[in-house]
Structure 1
Amino acid sequence: MNYNSFLKKDYKNISLTNPKGKYQEWQQPSPRIKRSHIILLVCFLIILSGTLIFNSGPAEATRNITIEPQNETENGQVTIALPLNFNNDTSYIDEPDVEMPNFNKPDIETIIKTIDAKNKTSFGDQSTLTSTLLQEKKSIFAKLKWSSHKVKTGQSFALIFKKAKLNPRELHSIISLGESTKALKSIKPGQEIKFRISENGSLQELVYVQNSLSSLHVMKFNDGYQAVAIAKSIEKRITHAQVTIQNSLFEAGLSAGLSNSIIMDLAGIFGWDIDFALDIRSGDHFSVVYEEHFLEGEKIRDGAILAVEFVNQNRSYKAIRYTDKKNRTDYYTPEGLSMRKAFLRTPVDFRRISSRFGKRKHPILNYMRLHKGVDYVARRGTPVRASGNGKVIHKKRKGGYGRAIIIKHGGKYSTLYAHLNGYKKGLKVGQKVKQGQTIAYVGSSGRSTGPHLHYEFRVNGVHRNPLTVKLPNARPINKKFKTEYLLYATKMIAQLDSYKQIKVALNP
């Protein structure tokens, strides 16, 4: 408040600007008013005015707000609380060059409420924020310019902060928030960091966009910052598809509108029972129930397959996805057996099989001999995977096999991988490996006519055909959860059957 007019008016009553006649009377006061009384009165007014001037300074810098009853809820409680000494000087506000970007950001009120709830306080003992002040804060923030930075390889948050020409002390304040801003220490290439900066270079808000669902928001309050992680929730919808194969699984799936991920997941579920490169026939068909994920009403991706039936050469295979109470998820048969086998049927992604198990004429030695494995043609450098859990007992050259690896799987089974181009870095003899783990790469070492993997499967030391040998099952569902699982599986199978009946009704 400006008190200049008030002071001038008051001092005019006792100033020396009186008319001459009255000035003379002031010099010689009436006997009824003593000179000392007048002096005391003048001193009192000067002190009073000085006090008012002294108190006027903070009144211009701090906004003191009184909470009115209408700003409270019906039960008298205030829903939002923040410190009041925001600097509401709008001299630094810039008009936005472009519309505020949409980066999966909730509104300021949501962030403020989340921060307040996280702290379980109203930011100390300060007064509660009124809705009017909140609107003003939102208005100010909405007008500040944004500075956007996409993280590049090798960049740290500190480097990006420096590039944005922000104060290092602000960086220290943000990092000092501890666990709340820990994510900023492990930013990844391709992610985005946005700054909302005032004209004087002060950071007012920071948004670290981790992905389409998660973001970290840091806002300035007083001389410090508050941080909150915001996670968008995904809406999951269940859908289904029924597909008949004419040529290949992949082609049929795409024609039916399925995504690559669903097709590959389906092949993975039945990969232990069906060789999708060799066993598929025209007329094979499948029915699948799966999830679709939506964010704010728009589909963003496909989710998990929940239940699926695949009919291959008139033989039906069914699988149900189930998560037990220990949060372990896997696919099982309707009876509770694992869809997984103890071994992968094929340990490499191959183009074709150039030589099968059995007698053949050796392509180099040029005479008939037993071919003890299967040759999978693949590009040089294609990853070779361990077909089952086990221990590496051999990792070096082995005669005509060239570079080779032998893995022992318990006391009964062993597998051999030959003609390798190289071994997985760090792999050692005696090391335990897991099913599907990369152990080597396709090559053409030893007696070989081109890049391929020679794969052998032995049972009690006897060579068996890897393509036809009966593979042992992995562990079935835990007995503790079997009753619950069987009820769930019955429900999912009924759902699959109902979709098939609908298709029959629509296509008589």
Structure 2
Amino acid sequence: MQATDIKKKNATTRNLHARVKHFPRLHLALAGSLALSLSFLLFFFPSNSVEAKRHQQSLTLELNQTNISEEIAAPEKEPAPEVKLTEWHDETVRSGDNLSLIFQRAGLSDTKLFAFMGSTPEAKTLRRIHPGHTLSFDIDTEGQLQQLRYRQDRLNSTLFQRTPEGFKSTKESRSPDIHTAYRQATITSSLFLAGQSAQMDANLIMELANIFGWDIDFALDIREGDSFKVLFEEKFLDGDKIGNGNILSAEFTNQGKTYTAVRYTDSKGISHYYTPEGDTMRKEFLRTPIDFARISSHFNLRRKHPVLNKIRAHKGTDYAAPRGTPIKAAGDGKVILAGRKGGYGNTVIIQHGQTYKTLYAHMKNFGRGIRSGKRVKQGQIIGYVGTTGLSTGPHLHYEFYVNGAVRNPVTVKLPKAKAIAKAERERFFKEAKPLLAKLEQFHQQTQLALADTDNQKL
């Protein structure tokens, strides 16, 4: 830097100091007071950015304090209890099985079986187990039975559970889904074969025969060309068919005459089959007391006896059937004889009111509980086909009496039961009409489908 410049700078500095020196003292005092006030305001009222920063720091501190407090106050969580998964062991009842064998296969001794059977009265239901039933066991690690489920079928079971007082039982049941199905067929040889060709099981065929069994003798009256159509219920569970329900309506044509039946449940919950006009299909007696048997000897008051080889009135009808075939009571009544009766062998005689009496002879043995004085219901099994007495082969000898006089069971006019009550008729027609219409609708659809199939074949 040059000497001239240095001299100028020094001169400027001296002039500034001279001005300050000569500045009035009052002005200096005011300037100092203003500076002090400004500092005071900045101290107590900081700028927005400073205040925001301070507020953020305060919130952070409060949150941290809260979290610390919660961590201190929260109790320690106990571990979730371990869930015991029940492992069931299934045993299916086999032919010849008893409870002792089944419990042994499940790993339980006879002592534990007796303890279980004695712990609850409901356990006695297990005494009636049948092949195909299932018993499921829940046994703990110490070999103690905790639960037992007795399953009669897919819909019904009984669950036994251990309690401090013993085992308690609970009935378990499921309801199947109900679908409506239709079948029809023309008979060429027998009702059974026609039904099977229409994919009907034996029980459904039997039920169909029972409905029309008042008017048609299925052992004697069936002819080639007879036909039937039936609307019925099918039961499904979890998508699988488990059986059939009730027949809802049906039609059977026998030797050119058509019979129609519809199921109706009255206001009391009692179900029967009726004609479309409201007359009951149920007579006072079954036409035949044995299903699908062959008549081997007709009613004949001057027939030569096959064993005695002399003329002796054959006062009944003989139905040939395999030994052990069930025999049913032809009507409601009271058993007045169940025992041996000379050449009749094992015989049951039933009194039906004051007017009618029926006799069943040559039985192998009697139905369960059948004895003199016992009241029986129509269709109840009273015995089984045999060859006792004067008999050349297994068959049922059946007699029918009206006011003490013997009558031909095949041709005797059977009395009808009462028609539907007047109070029920309006409700009956309202419910029967759509069932009969649906039966006809299915029939028409089936006929069209069969016609289309025939046309395609051509």
- Structure 1 and Structure 2 fold alike (TM over 0.5): yes
Asked if structure 1 preserves the Cα contact closer than 8 Å seen for 2:220 and 2:294, the reply is no
Question: Residues 419 and 452 of structure 1 are in contact (CA less than 8 Å); yes or no, is this contact kept in structure 2?
Answer: yes
1:358 pairs with 277, 300, 314, which one?
300
- Give the Cα separation in 2 of the matches to 1:219 and 1:439: 39
Contact between 2:324 and 2:384, CA under 8 Å: does it hold in 1? yes
Residue pair 2:305, 2:311 contacting (<8 A) in 1 also: no
* Aligned amino acid, residue 457 of structure 1: F
Q: Percent of pairs identical after alignment?
A: 46
1:306 partnered with 2:306: no
- The answer to whether residue 401 in structure 2 is matched with residue 494 in structure 1 is no
1:192 aligns with 2:168: no
Q: Identify the residue that residue 120 of structure 1 maps to in structure 2.
A: none
Partner of 1:277: 219
Alignment partner of 1:411 is 2:354 = yes
User: Matched residue of 2:378: which SS?
Assistant: coil
Report deviation, 1:478. Answer: 3.8
Does structure 2 conserve the Cα–Cα contact (< 8 Å) formed by 1:319 and 1:332?
yes
Q: Kindly report the root-mean-square deviation, in angstroms, between the aligned alpha carbons of the 2 structures.
A: 4.0
Instruction: Tell me the CA shift for residue 323 of structure 1.
Output: 1.9
Offset at residue 439 of structure 1 (A) = 3.2
In the alignment, the residues of structure 2 paired with residue 408 and residue 215 of structure 1 have an alpha-carbon distance, to the nearest angstrom, of 40
Matched, 1:464 2:403: no
Q: Quick one: which amino acid aligns to residue 186 of structure 1?
A: T
**1-structure distance, mates of 2:167, 2:374:** 49
Deviation, 1:239, is: 1.4
Give the 5 Å matches for 1:107-506: 137=83, 141=85, 146-150=88-92, 153-155=97-99, 163-164=107-108, 184=123, 186-187=125-126, 188-189=129-130, 190-195=132-137, 207-215=149-157, 230-349=172-291, 351-364=293-306, 365-368=308-311, 370-395=313-338, 397-398=340-341, 400-424=343-367, 427-506=370-449
Structure-2 change in CA distance of 1:311 and 1:406 (3 Å) = same
Amino acid at match of 1:486: F
Q: Is the 8 A contact 1:307 1:319 kept in 2?
A: yes
CA deviations over 1:138-177 (Å, ceiling 9, x no partner): xx52xx7553344574327995799348x97xx88x998x
- Cα distance, 1:370 vs. partner? 4.2
Q: Could you list the runs of 5+ residues in structure 1 that have no partner in the other structure?
A: 1-57, 66-83, 89-136
Q: Distance in 2 between matches of 1:246 and 1:341?
A: 28
Match of 1:13 in 2: none
Q: Give the equivalent residue in structure 2 for 1:103.
A: none
Give the deviation of 1:343 after TM superposition.
1.1
Q: Which moved more, 1:154-163 or 1:312-321?
A: 154-163
Describe the superposition over 1:412-443 as per-residue Cα deviations: whole angstroms up to 9, x where unpaired. Answer: 21222234444456544343332223334434
| Secondary structure class of the residue paired with 1:330 | strand
Shift of 1:220: 9.5
1:203 CA displacement: 7.1
CA separation of 1:494 and 1:160: change in aligned 2, threshold 3 A: same
**1: CA distance between counterparts of 2:161 and 2:440?**
53
Distance 1:311 1:241 in 2: 14
Indicate if the aligned counterparts of 2:219 and 2:295 stay in contact, CA closer than 8 A: no
TM-score (norm 1): 0.62
Q: For the residues of structure 2 that align with 1:395 and 1:273, how far apart are their CA atoms?
A: 29
1:253 alignment partner AA: G
Pairwise CA distance, 1:383? 3.6
- The alignment partner of 1:342 has SS state of coil
Q: TM-score, normalised by structure 2?
A: 0.68
Shift, 1:295, TM fit: 0.9
Q: Residue type of the partner of 1:473?
A: K
Alignment partners' CA distance in 2, 1:400 and 1:219: 56
Shift of the 488–402 alpha-carbon distance from structure 1 to 2, 3 Å rule, reads same
| Residues 1:150 and 1:474: Cα distance change in structure 2 (over 3 Å) | same
Q: Report deviation, 1:287.
A: 1.2
**CA distance change for structure 1 residues 372 and 160 in 2, over 3 Å: closer, same or farther?**
same
CA distance in 2: counterparts of 1:346 and 1:385, whole angstroms: 9
SS at match of 1:494: helix
- CA-to-partner distance for each residue in 1:327-358, whole Å, 9 max, x for gaps? 22222222222222211212234642222123
Question: How many residues get paired?
Answer: 369
CA–CA separation in structure 1 for the residues paired with 2:213 and 2:258: 14
Q: Which has the larger radius of gyration?
A: 2
Task: Provide the secondary structure at the position in 2 that maps to 1:163.
Answer: coil
- Which amino acid in structure 2 is aligned with residue 492 of structure 1? L
Cα pair distance change 1:501/1:211, threshold 3 Å? closer
Shift of 1:405: 3.6
Q: Residue deviations 1:100-134, cap 9 Å, x none? A: xxxxxxxxxxxxxxxxxxxxxxxxxxxxxxxxxxx
Equivalent-residue separation in structure 2 for 1:285 and 1:267 (angstroms) = 12
> 1:242-287 deviations in whole A, cap 9, x for unaligned?
2112121111111122222211111111112112222112221111
Tell me which amino acid in the other structure corresponds to 1:278: L
Structure 1 CA distance for aligned equivalents of residues 161 and 386 of structure 2: 56
Asked if the contact 2:332–2:352 (Cα under 8 Å) also holds between the matched residues in 1, the reply is yes
Change (3 A) 1:442 1:219: closer
Superposed displacement of residue 218, structure 1:
7.4
Contact 1:157 1:185 in 2 (8 A): no
Q: Per-residue deviation at 1:209?
A: 3.9
Secondary structure of residue in 2 paired with 1:496: helix
The 1:207–1:400 alpha-carbon spacing in structure 2 relative to 1, beyond 3 Å, is: closer
Q: Cα–Cα, structure 1 residues 204 and 430, in superposed 2: closer, same or farther, change >3 Å?
A: closer
For residue 372 of structure 1, what is the amino acid of its counterpart?
K
Contact 2:219–2:292 (CA<8 Å) still a contact in 1?
no
Contact 1:391 1:433 in 2 (8 A): yes
Q: Indicate conservation of the 8 Å contact 1:218/1:226, yes or no.
A: yes
Amino acid at match of 1:505: L
State the distance in 2 between where 1:347 and 1:367 align.
Answer: 28
Mapping for residues 95-110 of structure 1, pairs under 5 Å: none
Q: How much does 1:306 deviate?
A: 0.8
| Partner SS, residue 357 of structure 1 | coil
